[in-house]
């Protein structure tokens, strides 16, 4: 009964308020930290006709290195993982941002479908101030990555005036983080950096095809990963 009443009230509010109209702006790119679990097959030294499962973990800088075709041992501090998303949350991309050129240089994955639901805490505000989203992505071929797919689900803060994702200093939208397995990711990309800004949190699942050190192509499952979306890098 509680769910039905909530849905009924929500429908009345939506009809009364009407759709919000936002100004059109360009895509925005946000610094993104990642911690992603990976599973892949390895040869069995005791039986050549079977495979063993191995587990590894990718940080944001590992995904960047794989996308640009560089050894993951060397952390590229001038190239960072980032999420590019447009105002209205209609399109999004997981990209590599180059701090020296101030531009996105590689598109790791591109959205094929985004479903987003907005929330407005202040009825006097111009529009919604946050959203929850599910992004389905196709992984591109770059560097050591040969395609795949990702699904990213999470939350983001919005500018009530423009409807664009925005970074804030105080994270007040954490009420459902434990329920949806969202959490802050420790920054292992840039030593000593203390980025207090946050745009949102998300988690992902998926699979990618990778070229290993020996030159073989392997399917790598990404059963679970977490993303923390930080400060804005590009307008």
In a domain, residue 87? The reply is yes
Percent of the chain predicted with pLDDT > 90 = 79
In a domain? residue 3? no
pLDDT in tens, 34-83: 999 999 999 999 998 899 999 999 999 999 999 999 988 878 889 999 99
11 in a structural domain: no
In this model, does residue 11 exceed pLDDT 90?
Answer: no
pLDDT surpasses 80 at 24: no
Is residue 12, in this structure, part of any structural domain at all?
no
In a domain, 99, yes or no: yes
Q: Select from 173, 176, 178 the least CA-distant residue to 229.
A: 173
Residue pLDDT, tens place only, 191-234: 878 889 999 999 999 999 999 999 999 999 999 999 999 999 99
| pLDDT band (50, 70, 90) for residue 25 | low
Nearest to 87 by CA among 141, 162, 196, 16: 162
Q: How many domains is the chain partitioned into structurally?
A: 1
Total residue count of the chain as it appears in this document: 235
Residue 12 has pLDDT above 70, yes or no: no
- 13 inside domain: no
Residue of 207, 203, 108, 209 whose CA lies nearest to 150:
207
State residue 75's pLDDT score.
85
- What's the pTM value of the predicted model, to 2 decimals? 0.88
Q: What is the mean pLDDT of the chain?
A: 89
Is position 14 within any domain? no
């Amino acid at each position: 009964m509680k769910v039905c009443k909530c849905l009924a009230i929500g429908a009345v509010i939506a009809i009364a308020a009407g759709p919000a109209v936002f100004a059109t702006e360009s895509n925005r790119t946000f610094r993104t930290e990642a911690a992603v679990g990976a599973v892949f097959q390895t040869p069995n030294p005791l039986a050549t006709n079977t495979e063993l499962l191995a587990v590894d973990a990718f940080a944001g800088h590992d995904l960047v290195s794989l996308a640009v075709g560089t050894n993951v041992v060397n952390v590229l501090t001038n190239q960072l993982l980032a999420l590019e998303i447009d105002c209205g949350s209609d399109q999004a991309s997981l990209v590599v941002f180059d701090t020296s050129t101030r531009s996105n240089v590689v598109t790791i994955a591109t959205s094929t479908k985004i479903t987003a639901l907005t929330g407005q805490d202040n009825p006097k505000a111009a529009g919604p101030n946050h959203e929850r989203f599910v992004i389905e992505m196709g992984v591109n071929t770059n560097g050591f990555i040969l395609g795949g797919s990702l699904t990213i689900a999470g939350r983001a803060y919005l500018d009530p005036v423009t409807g664009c994702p925005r970074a804030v200093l105080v994270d007040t939208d954490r009420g459902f983080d434990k329920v949806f397995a969202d959490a802050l990711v420790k920054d292992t990309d840039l030593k000593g950096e203390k980025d207090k800004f946050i745009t949102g949190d998300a988690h992902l699942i998926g699979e990618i095809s990778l070229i290993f050190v020996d030159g073989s192509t392997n399917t790598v499952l990404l059963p679970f990963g977490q993303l923390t979306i930080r400060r804005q890098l590009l307008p």
